[in-house]
Structure 1
């Protein structure tokens, strides 16, 4: 059985979508004659945690921990709320305090590529010994944080190991990158490191076709698309919500703010008494202040149910109960290749998906292929309104259903099969 070392920052009990991709790969790799060994930080500063993921770690998997120093730990003494928000990617664009501006400048310019940079050198040293002891010749790094890729770079240069670099998100074109108040020197350093990783890694793995196209302009190394996916969970079946619920699961960050949806919902509520009586917008997870202010500006406050963060199990249950599942992404060319991990669990829930994002968003092709929902741009009002009224009419009459197809190609086990072939 071939051994591989997987280097990741996010691992249970970390919560959120970042932990799930490699937790699931590790779960199924043994089915394809590959034994994963996982290298993680010993004392990480996770923005959110979810102890439920701990029970999904396969029995007998060897996990090696290396201490990490993170500047967030020091900054939190100044403002724990602000540093936690920044570390989880929520960057307010309005009414930033002087402290928040300073923290952003420090984060963007002094900690390149990110605040986990101090984990690189000690990890390279520790892993060099591990590879020899375990007879491992293949390492896999996954980012963000992209400092993890610099561990892979160090190992490749020092030992010549086979190195696979997995990008769950892009590097310099990620939505929040422009908000970090980067100097020109810092921008150049980010781009230099990005290009170096892409050209030294033996194989690059990305989660979307758009990211593959972006990286192909920077490297001649082989690039494969392995999207995120869904796992089979045994969720107790419950009746659908009696209200006409539109549910968003996960962080609704600054910029993921589809004003046309809030406007259309406000119009329908003012025009349709039946809709007004039974509509509910349920937001599960952290919601940016900017987004809430926009929602409330359209007089939707009475219809909003702010649930906050829930366990993964609870989120899965909410998805299956919902009438409509909402998916949003920042309206920018740079986000065309962002396919939120929650999309695939939405597919597994088999509820209608309403997706609002940028033009030529990679999500559109997936929804068309699976017949699981509809995608709209931020400027699309009329068709959006027509679809919502159509779905509401179905809900009132025979019940709102979706008849999706081709979903199995996005199961975690099938995606692991593709990864195993690369390894």
Structure 2
């Protein structure tokens, strides 16, 4: 008889975005390793992005439990639907450009909803799941955050039932970039740190997605910490043909601070200096892009060379990855973001499209790209090197020799990663 593991997650199809993929794929492959997943999700969530196509990826034999959740973001929509959607999706405008409503919402979110806006789901979930766990002989509970309030469900279940509890952190807690933008009072910041410490010191095992986060958490807890990155899954896609134009594509959200002036500047210079480059180059923006980033891009790149595609389904995003000539991966230039490894990186690596990444030095992303030979990584102030690389890539595109030669990708397959998870369970 397979072992049962209860997975507590907020993001689940039809939610869109990268937060869904990790546990959707773990659930897909866990039965191959003798584990039956039971997935606990909110009945009436407020998802900022939807992707109905992901419903097709849910395994037929998975057990899914649902309970109602109180969603403050739905109430906030009464005052400003756009501000609520923007903040809930993680796109926080710069302080100087925040409206009064946005400032108020950020203050309320940071100081009254600790650790996050889904805190009201904790108490009823603990009550419901305590009975379910006893009745169905659940052996392991796994919580995944953000939202980090879900870890509090695991904390209380551990205290009440003494069950084995694994806490999965897709992102850090108190050191993630947006945490500093929540206008936290000293008291609120202290509460976050206290909750984080409780989780890190009580969970039987902690899973993180990057080496830098492992280092951070290992300094805060004596509990074992294991790195299980995100990964790629094999997808049946229609045959794709590379874009005829020299397309440089960014897929995913571009937050206000994910905005490398050096990149936009050198692309603008190449457009000005080479008429043939200007004729064929296009910057494809696929996903949510903040106004701050768009305004900066338009300072250097003409509208004729910009294609704003907007949000697309996951399957459509995979097609764009394969069609484009280069793939951009951009992270905020901050010490706090060295540990962030976007889930799309692993899909980029198997897309047979070279990656151009821009971010902070010594990041986990830099190490992965170098070790897999899937692209080049640059700092925010590497203008000459970045310009030279983009131009050499353009020259290779003209000769039809622009390609990647990756190595060691199998370790990042979803099935291989799930085998590692199954070992912990």
TM-score scaled by length of structure 2: 0.99
2 CA distance for matches of 1:5 and 1:299?
A: 49
CA drift of 1:175 comes to 1.0
Q: Structure 1 residue 301: deviation in Å?
A: 2.7
**Residue 49 in structure 1 maps to residue 50 in structure 2:** yes
Separation of aligned partners in 2, 1:363 and 1:255 = 18
RMSD: 0.7
Q: Distance in 2 between matches of 1:345 and 1:134?
A: 36
Equivalent residues in 2 for 1:3-402, closer than 5 Å: 3-93=4-94, 94-402=96-404
Distance in 2, matches of 1:254 and 1:398, equals 35
Partner of 1:419: 421
Partners in 2 of 1:350 and 1:197 — Cα distance? 40
Are 2:151 and 2:199, in contact at CA under 8 Å, matched by a contact in 1?
Answer: yes
Please state whether the residue corresponding to 2:403 is helix, strand or coil: coil
SS of equivalent to 2:369? helix
Shift, 1:407, TM fit? 1.0
Alpha-carbon distance between aligned partners in 1 of 2:369 and 2:397, rounded to the nearest angstrom: 21
Inter-partner Cα distance in structure 1 for 2:308 and 2:391: 24
User: Contact 1:139–1:164 (CA<8 Å) still a contact in 2?
Assistant: yes
Identify unmatched segments of 5+ residues in structure 1: none
Measure, in 2, the Cα distance between the counterparts of 1:162 and 1:301: 55
Measured in 2, the distance between the counterparts of 1:309 and 1:88 equals: 12
C-alpha distance in structure 1 between counterparts of 2:210 and 2:286, whole Å: 25
Q: CA offset at residue 76 of structure 1?
A: 0.6
Offset at 1:254? 1.4
**Displacement after TM superposition at 1:367 (Å):** 0.7
How far has the Cα of 1:395 moved from its partner? Answer: 0.6
Shift of 1:366: 0.7
Q: Does structure 1 retain, via aligned residues, the 8 Å contact 2:264–2:301?
A: no
**Deviation (angstroms), 1:157:** 0.8
Structure 1 position 95, deviation (Å):
1.6
Shift of residue 237, structure 1, vs aligned partner: 1.6
The answer to whether the 8 Å contact 2:16/2:49 transfers is: yes
8 Å contact 1:206–1:223 — kept in the other structure? Answer: yes
- Contact 1:247–1:283 (CA under 8 A) maintained in structure 2: yes
Give the distance between the partners of 2:156 and 2:48, measured in 1 at CA.
Answer: 27
Gaps in structure 2 of 5+ consecutive residues:
none
Q: Secondary structure at the match of 1:389?
A: helix
Deviations 1:296-345 (A, max 9, x none): 11243321100011111111111001100000011000000100000011
Q: Tell me the matched-pair count.
A: 423
| Aligned mates of 1:195, 1:358 — CA distance in 2 | 27
- Partner SS for 1:78: coil
